[in-house]
A and B are shown apart, each in its own frame.
Chain A
Amino acid sequence: MKKQYEVEGGEFLSAGRASAKVKKQLKQLGYDANVVRKVAVCMYEAEINMVIHANGGIIETDFMPDHIYITLQDEGPGIPDIEKAMEPGFSTASDEAREMGFGAGMGLPNMKKNSCELNITSEVGVGTRVEIKVNVK
């Protein structure tokens, strides 16, 4: 089952709404609590990143009985060095974002830890595409 969400940029207070909706759906569908938790952690991180760095974007979810697939596509500044971005503690978040408690540099490492597959493709000045897969078993 596929569904699309638009995420607004710069709106810290509403960041996480799409993930909350997805979580509710996953629970209604009867996915295992641990699977829901993994998806929630990954998607929340990714959604926040989109709000902080990329001025929003589009999230697509695809639920299958054996796996859950989420893609986040933005037209933000892009990530120059993905490997470096994956390092724990590395962050380029603005002071404003840090003051709100975001941007501690644990987002991508956390997503890697909780997903079964994580693919990030990015082009500077064009945008970033994040693909997250969480297997059910």
Chain B
Amino acid sequence: MDILQSKLHSVTLDYDKCIGCTDCIKRCPTEAIRVRNGKANIIDERCIDCGMCIRVCRNGAKRAVTDSFNDINKFKYKVAIPAPTLYSQFHDILDPNYILTGLKEIGFDEVIEVAKGADLVSEYTKEYLKKEGIKKPVISSACPATVRLIQIRFPSLIPNILPIVSPMEAIARYTRNYLVKQGMKSEDIGIFFISPCAAKMTDSRMNEALDSENVDGVIAIKDIYFKLYNVVRNVEKPEQLVTSSYRGIKWAESGGEGTATDNSNFLAVDGIDNVIKVLELLEDEMIQADFVECLACTNGCIGGPLVVEDPFVSKYNMDKIIEYSRECVTKRELELYDEKIKLDWDHELEARTVMKLDKDMFKALEKMEQLEQIYETLPQIDCGSCGAPTCRALAEDIVRGNANVEDCIFMLREKVKEMAEDMVNLAQKMPQTLSEGIKENEKNDGK
């Protein structure tokens, strides 16, 4: 299998499975994919890891590179930090303790929920929202695909992003701190995020806002699901492992993070196309909310590309789990909190100006003029046969020097037609000597 990997994103192409169709290029929200030489190529710096191409590829040629379950054996002390979405993947299991116990049985020494990290981040967020001089509406930083989308397409909204680590990184920090205090060596501890999300892989390796990160690996929910399923089914008496509140669990759904801020003036949006619409409106200053939660996947993280269950069935399951957790779950006391641990970003985020036509504004204006002129000549039906998602994207590629007008099959046909006409015209032109000769023959025949 030929896997091409990039540091900038975790979504990759399985070269052998790609048939070069136009499904993924047409659905990519940042126009980051082109079909070249019959295969889909990802433009690295444009990919935001939203996972849309993974969902739409009918051949399973797009996937997210994550760590394998066996990687946990590289560490002496193995810790699972499961996303709350994991609970929604099981039918009729309302008590998360069963699933957390199952994780221990398949090989983890300790299990601490990311939902607890969500609780801690919620507290931090409440304090942040009370601060003077912050830019509102504050946009959640929990969805890494959204954050990268803002960096690429909506840079003016960067100052609005909540400058706090994700629940995943938060719980990893507290967990590592807790275990080290118990006498363990940091290098012996392997913290693995059990993930519904393709973007979290990249986020855990190179988060631009952070100096150091505490997650050692990211395992896709779908990769451990079947192993876990068989074990969870047979758990008779679960350990009491839950530490989080039901509100932390609710973060997995759209609206969960907003609800947990205790500020009802929030807006929640999910699904990448809807997120883009809301970000456009935010940029136009048409939304007066205090807090905006943008989740790239349908219904929120429960609709992530690395899950096994349908996002709506997951929501159905999740609502029941949340209701149950509100009333019945017995929790364990674990002194994770430590005031030394800070959750703020180390750096401000920078815009990613990958959409710019040229560094020089004069040249950029020139290129934009050319782009418009080329676009006018194209058929404007966005068929995708050239390998670019739209005629405008092809015009852009041509101006950037990455494509030719003849990549458009309609333009190519025009050109062939012109050439054919020229050939007919040329074929009718006989050399002088020969054409004279024919006339002579005709005269003779006529006699």
Contact = CB atoms under 8 A, between A and B. Distances in A.
Contact of A23 (B283, B357, B372): B283
Interface stretch (A30-38, A85-93, A127-135): A30-38
Contacts of A31: 361
A33 B152 CA distance: 11
B210 interface: no
A25 B375 CA distance: 13
Given A3-B372, A20-B280, A30 B285 contact: no
Contact of B355 (A1, A28, A65): A28
Interface in B318-368: 351, 353, 355-359, 361-362, 364-365, 368
Nearest to B358: A30
A34 B358 CA distance: 19
Interface residues of A, number: 23
Contacts of B357: 28-30
B353 A30 contact: yes
Contacts, number: 61
Contacts of A30: 353, 356-359, 361, 364
Interface in B281-318: 283-286
A29 B284 contact: no
The contact size tier of chain B is: 20 to 34
B156 A1 contact: no
A25 to B, nearest CB: 6
Nearest to A44: B284
A16 interface: yes
Contacts of A110: 285
A108 interface: no
Contact of A16 (B156, B284, B351): B284
Contacts of A27: 153, 155, 355-356
Nearest to A36: B156
Contact of A33 (B156, B280, B396): B156
A66 B353 CA distance: 19
B158 interface: yes
A109 B316 CA distance: 46
Given A28-B364, A45-B284, 20 more contacts: A1-B365, A23-B280, A23-B283, A25-B368, A27-B153, A27-B155, A28-B356, A28-B396, A29-B357, A29-B361, A29-B364, A30-B353, A30-B361, A33-B351, A34-B156, A36-B156, A41-B285, A44-B284, A65-B361, A110-B285
Interface of B: 153, 155-156, 158, 280, 283-286, 351, 353, 355-359, 361-362, 364-365, 368-369, 372, 396
5 contacts: A1-B369, A25-B368, A28-B368, A30-B353, A37-B285
Interface of A: 1, 3, 16, 19-20, 23, 25, 27-31, 33-34, 36-37, 40-41, 44-45, 63, 65, 110
